[in-house]
Structure 1
Amino acid sequence: MDFRVGLFDATFVPLGFIILLSYQLFLYFRVRYAPMRTVIGVNHLARRHWVESMMKDNDKNNILAVQTLRNTTMGAHFNTTEPLLGARDPTLRCIKFIIRMVCFLLSVLTFMKSVRYINHVNFLINVPLQTLRCPPEYVSTVLAKGCNFHTVGIRAFYFVCPLFMWLLSPIAMLCSCTFLVPLLYYLDVSGLDQQ
């Protein structure tokens, strides 16, 4: 029985990770070469136009810009707790725990980077164009970096779900990965056709 459980872990867990990694590679190329077909690409374009409009009429929009960026930053500030569920093999339990902690650490670090970039935008967006000589394209690029780090942080939380399922069984982990990919695809597709 233990040999079969070890074989399932050695087979189904890497297969689940390959499924998730394959989807992330697909999404990367879709964002890069057909950005308007993804939510990420549409959001990048919308944020670029938003920054330009905020900076164009800075006297009227400065409070709106800061409040919007503050609300965006607050999305990256939340704490999670996770229970430690037991596994039979202490080594495997340790590996599962380390992988989950790495996922959480990656999420926290990317959220911190997101907050950092968005805080930079808070200052850049309210400086008059004539004073700073900083084009709106630069400000929107900094905002896009912050939002990209936020997206990576959210993805790290999504990937923790299959890791929790792995505590139950490698088959549950594989099923969770298989379920997660269509869910992510549904969340990532913009519904706009590439023109």
Structure 2
Amino acid sequence: MGDISYLDTILVPTSLFLLMGYHAYLWHIFKKNPSSTSSGADRRASSMWVLSIQQDYEKKGILAVQSLRNSQMSTILSATMGISVYIALAALANNTYNAAHILKNPFFGTQSALLIVLKFSLVSLILLLSFLCSTMALGFLIEANFILNLSTDDFLPGYPLAVFDRGFVLAFLGNRALCVSFPLLLWMLGPVPLVLSSVALVWVLYKFDFVGEGKKELLLL
């Protein structure tokens, strides 16, 4: 029983702190030096792309529609995955109480009714947040699709870029919330899979979130 308590009280807070600490660090670097992060570089590139479309919208209107269609499809995929996993999780929640007696090994941690409810509630909240951000991002991207095909004189200066930027940020948040939900899903199997998947996720995200030296040189060209 002491081993069970030890795993839950040590590994679970460590995993959650690792996930939140990494994203706090990413946000700090993004605000301090956006060009050193992939999201900051992509955001700058997308802003330049919007401005180029606005300057020659008569010739590049079709290009804007085709390019935004890809972003919309990826956002729809994130929203679909989020709500699908949420529905599957809700369907499994009813059977978890009946199967809790199977997971009595210390490896799986505490399987009390209160902790099971906490696990399902936390994962459900993250998945719903991912779905909400993705659907809102889709709305902004659809609006940007119409705006970019119009003359810039029809709107306040900077409004088309602001609409596109909101969609970009919300799509990023929806995708990132979906990624964070996977370690929390593995928490159903105990704190050990949670901490291992959290470390793996942070390592993978670090490789994607921060610009390498070779990519920095390309951005400077």
> TM-score, normalized by length of structure 1?
0.90
Instruction: Find the counterpart in structure 2 of residue 90 from structure 1.
Output: 113
Q: Tell me the alpha carbon deviations over residues 135-179 of structure 1, each in whole angstroms, 9 at most, x when there is no partner.
A: 3x4322321221111111111111112112211111221121112
Aligned residue in 2 for 1:12: 11
Q: Match for 2:159: what amino acid?
A: Y
SS state of the match for residue 75, structure 2? coil
Stretch moving more, 42-51 or 89-98: 89-98
CA–CA distance in structure 2, aligned partners of residues 49 and 145 of structure 1: 15
1:160 partnered with 2:159: no
In the alignment, which residue of structure 2 is the partner of 1:128? 151
Per-residue deviation, 1:6: 3.4
CA distance in 2, matches of 1:49, 1:35: 15
Identity level (%): 29
1:55 deviates by 1.0
Partner Cα separation in structure 1 for residue 30 and residue 143 of structure 2: 24
Residue in 2 aligned with 1:47? 46
- 2:186 alignment partner, SS class: helix
Post-superposition offset of 1:4: 3.1
- Aligned pair in 2 of structure 1 residues 70, 4: CA closer, same or farther (>3 Å)? same
Q: Distance in 1 between the 2:121 and 2:184 partners?
A: 11
- State the match for 1:56 in structure 2: 55
Tell me the distance in 1 between the aligned counterparts of 2:3 and 2:115. Answer: 14
Unaligned runs of 5+ in 2: 101-110
Alignment of 1:71-110 (within 5 A): 71-78=70-77, 79-80=80-81, 81=85, 82-83=88-89, 84=92, 86=96, 87=100, 88-110=111-133
Greater fraction of residues in helix: 2
Structure 1 unaligned blocks of 5 or more: none
Task: State the Cα distance separating 1:69 from its structure 2 match.
Answer: 1.3
What letter matches 2:52 in structure 1?
S
- Map of 2:106 onto structure 1: none
Conserved? CA contact 1:47–1:140, under 8 Å: no
Q: Superposition RMSD on alpha carbons, in Å?
A: 1.9
Q: Give the whole-Å Cα distance in 2 for the aligned partners of 1:20 and 1:133.
A: 40
Alignment size in residue pairs: 192
TM-score by length of 2: 0.80
Instruction: Please report how far the alpha carbon of residue 133 of structure 1 lies from its aligned counterpart in structure 2 after TM superposition.
Output: 4.2
Q: In the alignment, residue 41 of structure 1 is paired with which amino acid?
A: G
Within 5 A, what are the aligned runs for 1:12-31?
12-31=11-30
What's the CA shift string for 1:46-67, capped at 9, x where partnerless?
A: 1111111111111111111122
Mapped partners of 2:45, 2:127: distance in 1: 29
